[in-house]
């Protein structure tokens, strides 16, 4: 049990270091999120060891990513996002198919059984979009064609990932009941359809906006009450997404897009400013804390091959899907890179497979290293690609 004093000290260290390095990186025209990740790595077990992963910080980081994705949703127009649905779906399908195939091939090459190969391929197919969204926001590209395609692809990727994870767990437990997989997919799609339908109805009709705003109580003149209602609405959508089998960040992002046309600009700015002053710093710096680079000492040839498959699979798959959707080659490269981040989502999935006995210690270590390297590399690669390819910032 960590004492209250040490938790407060760790939070203080994270906030100060992340903010300082974020501003420093911004001075050199680098995305702030890279500085925040570096701050976490320096404070964590990889370097100084002043902050260590704990259940308390894990919970705060989860709240942090919820508020961050809620804030990102507030900046996205739902109708603009839906216009990029086709592009996002093609990117998601190709961005899963290519790394999944490479994962199965890698498992076959190293004589892994079907459950191990399928689990490994699933880990390669998952995208943790939080980091990429943050880079898009830092580069003022979230609402561009590239940004909206990436966000669309991430939502679709979450649904596909849900199906793959369900199948992988079924294989691991030798309970291949595919009707459960189908039910999980239907539930997730039903939630997404209901959420987007509600959002589209509100954005298209002034009368619907007025009625729904009045129903939620957003017409109150009490600013704190309005903020409380908005946050409660976002948390409700996050909970419903989780119950539907999706990640909660999908739900809060949809809630943010719905509230985009209901909240006033001042209320939106309060939420966004506080999120980036505290919650976002905690989340992204904590990813750095959990990125234990000492694991690199356990790297093997299998790890190296897994890293190649991870980078090549997602970048090539995302780029091919983008080209098929009509994006330019330059845009396709950035989209492919953005789909490459795994982060904490990967660690949680890999940990589950390890606890079930599907992953050996060598496979688990390799996946942990892969998640760490892609998390650190993706923001740097995105920024470099945007600059070198001359895309609008």
Rg (CA), the chain: 20
Q: What is the pLDDT of residue 97?
A: 93
Environment class of 206 (CB within 10 Å of its CB; exposed 0-12, middle 13-18, buried 19+): exposed
Q: Is residue 287 part of a domain?
A: no
Q: What is the pLDDT along the chain (393 residues), one digit of tens a residue?
A: 566 778 899 999 999 999 999 899 888 777 787 788 889 989 988 888 898 888 888 889 889 888 988 888 888 777 777 788 888 889 999 999 999 999 999 999 988 888 889 989 988 988 877 777 877 888 888 888 888 898 888 878 877 876 787 777 767 766 555 566 677 778 888 888 898 888 888 888 888 888 888 888 877 888 888 889 999 999 999 999 888 877 787 889 889 888 888 887 788 888 888 888 898 888 888 878 877 777 666 667 888 899 999 999 999 999 999 999 998 899 999 999 988 887 666 666 777 787 778 888 788 878 878 887 887 788 888 888 888 877 655
Q: Is residue 232 part of a domain?
A: yes
Burial 120-134 (b: 16+ CB within 10 A, else e): bbbbbbbbbbbbbbb
Task: Note whether 79 and 188 are same-domain residues.
Answer: yes
Q: Is residue 203 part of a domain?
A: yes
Q: In sequence order, which ranges of the chain are alpha helices (DSSP H)?
A: 4-27, 32-43, 55-74, 78-82, 85-109, 114-125, 130-138, 145-172, 178-204, 206-216, 223-243, 248-259, 265-274, 280-290, 301-324, 329-338, 343-355, 361-389
Task: Note whether 151 and 7 are same-domain residues.
Answer: no
- Give CA–CA dist 50/339, Å, rounded: 31
Characterise 30 by phi-psi region: left (phi > 0), alpha (psi -120 to 50), beta (else): beta
| Angle made by CA atoms 201, 76, 161, in degrees to the nearest 5 | 90
Task: Note whether 144 and 6 are same-domain residues.
Answer: no
Q: What is the pLDDT of residue 164?
A: 80
Which CATH number does the domain housing residue 324 bear? 1.20.1530.20
| Number of domains present in the structure of the chain | 2
Name, in order, each residue with C-beta under 8 angstroms of 173's C-beta and a sequence gap of 6 or more. 356
Q: What is the pLDDT of residue 93?
A: 92
Task: Note whether 155 and 267 are same-domain residues.
Answer: yes
Considering the entire predicted model, what is its pTM? 0.76
- How far is C-alpha 107 from the geometric centre of its chain's CA atoms? 26
Task: Note whether 251 and 350 are same-domain residues.
Answer: yes
The residue range of the domain holding 215 is 69-278+301-389
Q: Is residue 126 part of a domain?
A: yes
């Amino acid at each position: 049990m960590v004492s209250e004093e040490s938790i407060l000290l760790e939070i203080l260290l994270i906030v100060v270091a992340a903010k300082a390095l974020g501003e420093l990186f911004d001075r050199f025209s680098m995305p702030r999120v890279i500085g925040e990740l570096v701050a976490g790595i320096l404070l964590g077990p990889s370097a100084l060891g002043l902050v260590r992963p704990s259940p308390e910080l894990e919970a705060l980081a989860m709240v942090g990513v919820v508020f961050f994705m809620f804030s990102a949703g507030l900046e996205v127009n739902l109708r603009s996002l839906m216009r990029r649905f086709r592009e996002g779906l093609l990117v998601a399908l190709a961005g899963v198919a290519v790394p999944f195939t490479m994962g199965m091939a890698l498992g076959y090459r190293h004589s892994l059984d079907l459950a191990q190969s399928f689990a490994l391929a699933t880990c390669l197919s998952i995208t943790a979009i939080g980091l990429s969204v943050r880079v898009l926001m830092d580069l003022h590209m979230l609402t561009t064609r590239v940004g909206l395609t990436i966000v669309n692809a991430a939502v679709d990727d979450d649904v596909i990932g849900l199906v793959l994870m369900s199948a992988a767990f079924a294989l691991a437990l030798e309970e291949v009941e595919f009707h459960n997989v189908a039910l999980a997919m239907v539930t997730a799609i039903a939630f997404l359809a209901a959420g987007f339908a509600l959002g589209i109805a509100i954005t298209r009709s002034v009368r619907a906006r007025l009625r729904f705003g009045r129903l939620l109580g957003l017409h109150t003149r009490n600013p704190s009450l309005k903020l409380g209602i908005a946050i409660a609405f976002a948390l409700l959508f996050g909970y419903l997404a989780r119950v539907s089998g999706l990640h909660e960040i999908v739900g809060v992002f949809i809630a943010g897009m719905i509230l985009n046309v209901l909240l006033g600009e001042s209320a939106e700015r309060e939420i966004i400013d506080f999120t980036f002053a505290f919650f976002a710093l905690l989340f992204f710096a904590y990813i750095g804390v959990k990125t234990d680079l000492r694991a690199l000492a356990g790297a093997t040839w299998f790890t190296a091959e897994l890293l190649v498959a991870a980078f090549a699979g997602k970048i090539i798959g995302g780029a091919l899907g983008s080209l098929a959707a009509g994006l330019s080659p330059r845009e396709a490269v950035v989209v492919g890179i953005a789909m490459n981040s795994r982060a904490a989502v990967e660690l949680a999935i890999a940990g589950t497979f390890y606890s079930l006995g599907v992953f050996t210690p060598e496979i688990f270590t390799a996946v942990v290293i892969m998640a760490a390297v892609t998390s650190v590399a993706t923001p740097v690669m995105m920024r470099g690609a945007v600059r070198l390819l001359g895309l609008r910032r």
